[in-house]
Structure formats: C-alpha cells, structure tokens
C-alpha cells in the first residue's frame, strides 16, 4: 500500500479540474482498503467527512479546492456470475470496474437489463450512489445487493435494495450515510429473456433511423450510445459531469400555472400529483444555453450540462451554477437542486 503526497487530481475528474490531493492512494481489495484506513501515520477517519474522499471515476464531482486529506481511489476489479435460476443470472461486479464495460460485458453474455444505461461514465461502485439512470431505466430496477466497508465499525456490511433507499438520483449513501461506507462490490439480477424498454421516445426514433428489424439488448445499447454521443459532450474533449442539476419535481398545480404562461414547457407526470420538469428547458428559456464566462460555460447542445472549456476553476463553475439557479428561481419560481457532488 503506497500513499502518494501532493498529487494533481486533474486526470481523475471528468471536469478536468486541477486541484491537488494532500494524500492519494489506490486500493484493489478490501484488506488493503482496511489497512489504508487504519494507517497510524494519518488519522484520516477521525473527522471522516472532511478528511477522506472516496474516488471512483470522478465523473460526478465538482472539486472546488485542494483536498487537504486522503483521497482513496477504488480500483477493486472483477465481474463474475454468482448464481442463476430459470429466468435470472446474478452478477457481482467489483467497485472499480468501469460502468460502460460492465454493461457491454453483460450484453456480450446475453444478460439483459442494463443496456439502456450504456455509456454512462464512471465506475460500477458509484452506480448505486445516485441510482444512476437513463432512457427509462435506473439501476434499482436490476439491483440485487451491494457490499460495503463500514469505516466506523470496520467490517463488511451487505445492503439490500430497500436498505439503499433508492430514489431519483438518490440513495442512502448520498444522504444519511454519506462518507460512512465504501462500496466494494455491486450485485445485479439480470434477465435471460429480457423485456425491452423502448418507451423513451428518442430510442424508438433512433432504432427506426438505424433500420433495426430485430430488437435486441445490443441494438438498444447501440441506439442509446448513438443518442448520447449526439447530445452530451465527451469529457475527454470538454470537461463536464453530465447533468449538473436534477430535473425538479413540482406539484401538478404549479405546473398548470407555469403551463398557462409557457404552453411549451416540458414536464412528465409523476405519481402523487407531481410533475418532473426538464431543467434543461428551464435553463435554456432563462437564456443560459451556450453562455460562456471565461472557461466556464453552459453547453450549447444541452443546457443542463455545465462545462470546463480548459482552465476554469471549480469555484468559477460553482459561481456560474449559482447564477443559473438564481435566474431560474426568479423566472419560474422553481428551485434547482445540484446533482453533482461538490467537494
Ligand atoms: P465519482 O464521481 O468518483 O463519485 C461520485 C460520488 O460517489 C462521490 O461522492 C464519491 O465520493 C462517491 N463514491 C464513488 N465511489 C464510491 C464507492 N465505491 N463507495 C462509496 N462512495 C463512492 N449519471 C446518470 O445517472 N445518468 C446519466 O445519464 C449520466 N450521464 C453522464 C454523462 C456524462 C458525460 C458525465 C460526465 C456524467 C454522467 N452521469 C450520469 C454522472 C456520472 O457518470 C454517474 O454519477 C456515475 O455513477 C459516477 O461514477 P464515478 O465512478 O465517476 O463516481
Ligand atoms: N431540453 C431543452 N433544452 C436543453 C436540454 C433539454 O429544451 O438544452 C429539453 C429537451 O428538448 C427534452 C427535455 O428537455 O424535451 C429532456 O432532455 P433530455 O432528453 O436531453 O434529458 P434530460 O432530462 O436533460 C435526463 C438525465 C440524464 C439522462 C437523460 C436520458 C437528469 C438530471 N438527467 O436528462 O442523465 O442521460 O435524461 O435519460 O435526470 C446525468 O444524470 O448526468 C444525466 C446525463
């Protein structure tokens, strides 16, 4: 186990923000994670929320300052089938496995369920953190259980789906139990005879455009990949962390009031007389789409994505995000909650 000092995190976060970690270490199994956290040299866990940063692929983080503590990068490998019955296979994936490669491996094996989630950046270990979702599917739909290392009680704990308290871009690990557990592996229940989810309009259109006759999990993944490439900036080219804000959920009555003023407003009905608004629409209508201030900007093709054109600082991106949410609040009376984890 090696602890490096004063390491730049520029290549470890998809915004490409150049901040330093005071201490940095990579672990590939649970014993070395435990040893790392126990190291007598640095009492990292005494003020755990301020001194320890668990890093996956860094694709949902806004790093605003040098990190004056220990950054631990989770590289635990491995994908294996652990059980099966007539309809399902159970697959356990090490937290350090790249998410997209996990999805493609499952497709290669003919195991269905994750195909709508192709090309989401980051690692499998972070996928439960905000219950990643796209194109009508969330991981909670195929989640079985996960294993996590309890930093306080120093033991491995299993969490079922109910215990993860999954919600829209939420879980217990992003909320109440933030920084207490390091997720070490995630298990999925996948389908041998998958049901195809193509209700999301854009997928159907893309499948038609590609002339797909025989629907398959691979064809769905290909359609999703193609849509995502056409809309979202590639972090390898322009720094970003995907949607910066969540899509806000408001009462249906408030939606009707907004609709009377803005008939073209985009909203999707939810249970409980609520409506989910498209934050990208709100931000575009507030005039921010394509806006740039120094190297911080609001993407020209997707207003929900804030970008770093090169040398923006985390503070500059945060300042821009505050201006955007303030103007959306003034214009529409709607609060935008950040999806990205600000560190
Ligand atoms: P990181 O950014 O490294 O970490 C995210 C948070 O989880 C941090 O708080 C970190 O401390 C914590 N964490 C990470 N690993 C662990 C662990 N093993 N144990 C405990 N805590 C941990 N998200 C979606 O839901 N849907 C999308 O469609 C989507 N599209 C995106 C498109 C682009 C271009 C980009 C850049 C991002 C997109 N995202 C999307 C966001 C991001 O890809 C996901 O949130 C992803 O799961 C983050 O994984 P990561 O490994 O990079 O996490
Ligand atoms: N829209 C605009 N202007 C914009 C952007 C979007 O008017 O600049 C409108 C679109 O026309 C569309 C609606 O907003 O009617 C929704 O847009 P889109 O389909 O692009 O999806 P989104 O709601 O912006 C969400 C997720 C994405 C996920 C896609 C596909 C959130 C916060 N974002 O984006 O997830 O990939 O749907 O399912 O829920 C992420 O979480 O990082 C992320 C990228």
CATH (domain of 173): 3.30.465.10
Q: Atom 37 of ligand 1 has which residue's CA nearest to it? A: 242
Indicate the average pLDDT of the chain. Answer: 95
| pLDDT value at 265 more than 70 | yes
Residues 98 and 186 in one domain: yes
Nearest-10 Cα torsion for 206, 142, 137, 333:
-160
Q: Residue 132 gets which letter from DSSP?
A: -
Residues 321-334: b if buried by 16+ CB within 10 A, e if exposed: beebbebbeeebeb
pLDDT for the residue numbered 1: 74
Residues 126 and 217: their CA atoms lie apart, in Å, by 23
Q: Residue 59 gets which letter from DSSP?
A: -
Residues 323 and 107: their CA atoms lie apart, in Å, by 42
Q: Indicate the pLDDT class of residue 48, thresholds 50, 70 and 90.
A: very low
Measure 184 CA to ligand 2 centroid, in angstroms: 30
Final residue in a domain of this structure, among 55, 74, 93:
74
Asked if 125 and 119 touch (Cβ cutoff 8 Å), the reply is: no
Any atom of ligand 2 within 6 Å of the Cβ of 69: no
Any atom of ligand 1 within 6 Å of the Cβ of 125: yes
pLDDT for the residue numbered 49: 44
DSSP per-residue letters across 83-134: EE-SSEEEEEEETTSBHHHHHHHHHHHT-BS-GGGTT--SBGGGTTTTT-EE
Structural domain contains residue 212: no
Q: Indicate the pLDDT class of residue 43, thresholds 50, 70 and 90.
A: low
Q: pLDDT, tens digit, for every residue of 207-250?
A: 999 999 999 999 999 999 999 999 999 999 999 999 999 999 99
Read off the tokens for 253. 């009555």
Final residue in a domain of this structure, among 74, 104, 121:
74
Element (H, E) at 9: none
Measure 246 CA to ligand 2 centroid, in angstroms: 9
Any atom of ligand 1 within 6 Å of the Cβ of 131: no
| pLDDT value at 148 more than 80 | yes
By most ligand atoms within 8 Å of CB, the mutation choice from 243, 268, 300 for ligand 2 is 243
Residues 57-79, mean pLDDT to the nearest whole number: 96
Which stretch of 23-27, 48-52, 197-201, 314-318 has the lowest confidence by average pLDDT? 48-52
Q: What is the number of structural domains in the chain?
A: 3
Instruction: Assign residue 25 the CATH number of its domain.
Output: 3.30.43.10
Structural domain contains residue 108: yes
Residues 337 and 243 in one domain: yes
Q: Is 193 exposed, middle or buried (0-12, 13-18, 19+ CB in 10 A)?
A: exposed
Q: Indicate the pLDDT class of residue 172, thresholds 50, 70 and 90.
A: very high
Residues 14 and 95 in one domain: no
Final residue in a domain of this structure, among 74, 90, 117:
74
Residues 29 and 48 in one domain: yes
Instruction: Assign residue 336 the CATH number of its domain.
Output: 3.90.78.10
Residues 103 and 39 in one domain: no
Q: Atom 25 of ligand 1 has which residue's CA nearest to it? A: 132
Q: Atom 43 of ligand 1 has which residue's CA nearest to it? A: 121
| pLDDT value at 290 more than 60 | yes
Catalytic residues: 169, 243, 339
Residues 171 and 89 in one domain: yes
Any atom of ligand 1 within 6 Å of the Cβ of 130: yes
Structural domain contains residue 206: no
Structural domain contains residue 209: no
pLDDT for the residue numbered 39: 72
Measure 4 CA to ligand 2 centroid, in angstroms: 39
| pLDDT value at 42 more than 90 | no
Any atom of ligand 2 within 6 Å of the Cβ of 247: yes
Residues 47 and 101 in one domain: no
For the chain, report the end-to-end CA distance as a whole number of angstroms. Answer: 25
pLDDT for the residue numbered 38: 83
Structural domain contains residue 204: no
Structural domain contains residue 319: yes
Tell me the residue range of the domain where 21 lies: 4-74
Residues 271 and 284 in one domain: yes
DSSP H stretches of helix in 30-152 = 30-38, 48-51, 99-109
Which stretch of 100-114, 192-206, 222-236, 269-283 has the lowest confidence by average pLDDT? 192-206
């Amino acid at each position: 186990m090696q602890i490096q000092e004063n390491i730049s995190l520029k290549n470890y976060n998809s915004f490409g923000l150049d901040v330093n970690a005071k201490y940095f270490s990579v672990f590939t199994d649970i014993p070395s994670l435990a040893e790392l956290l126990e190291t007598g040299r640095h009492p990292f866990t005494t003020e755990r929320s301020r001194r320890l940063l668990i890093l996956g692929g860094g694709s949902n983080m806004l790093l605003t300052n040098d990190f004056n503590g220990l950054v631990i990068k989770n590289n635990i490998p491995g994908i294996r089938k652990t059980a099966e019955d007539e309809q399902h296979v159970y697959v356990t994936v090490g937290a350090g496995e790249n998410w997209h490669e996990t999805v493609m491996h499952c497709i290669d094996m003919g195991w269905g369920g994750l195909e709508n989630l192709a090309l989401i950046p980051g690692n499998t270990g972070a996928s439960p953190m905000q219950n990643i979702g796209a194109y009508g599917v969330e991981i909670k739909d195929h989640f079985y259980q996960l294993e996590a290392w309890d930093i306080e009680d120093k033991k491995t704990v299993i969490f079922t789906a109910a215990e993860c308290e999954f919600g829209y871009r939420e879980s217990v690990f992003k909320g109440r139990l933030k920084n207490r557990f390091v997720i070490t592996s995630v298990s999925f229940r996948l389908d041998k005879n998958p049901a195809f989810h193509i209700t999301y309009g854009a997928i159907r259109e893309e499948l038609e455009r590609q002339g797909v006759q025989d629907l398959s999990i691979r064809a769905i993944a290909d359609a999703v990949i193609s849509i995502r490439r056409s809309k979202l900036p590639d972090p390898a080219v322009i720094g970003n962390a995907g949607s910066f804000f969540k899509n806000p959920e408001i009462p249906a009555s408030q939606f009707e009031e907004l609709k009377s003023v803005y008939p073209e407003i985009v909203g999707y009905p939810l249970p409980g007389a609520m409506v989910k608004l498209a934050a990208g629409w709100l931000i575009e209508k507030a005039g921010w789409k394509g806006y740039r201030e120094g190297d911080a900007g609001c993407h020209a093709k997707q207003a929900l994505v804030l970008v770093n054109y090169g040398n923006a600082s985390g503070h500059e991106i945060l300042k821009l995000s505050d201006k955007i949410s303030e103007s959306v609040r003034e214009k529409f009376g709607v609060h935008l909650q950040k999806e990205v984890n600000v560190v």
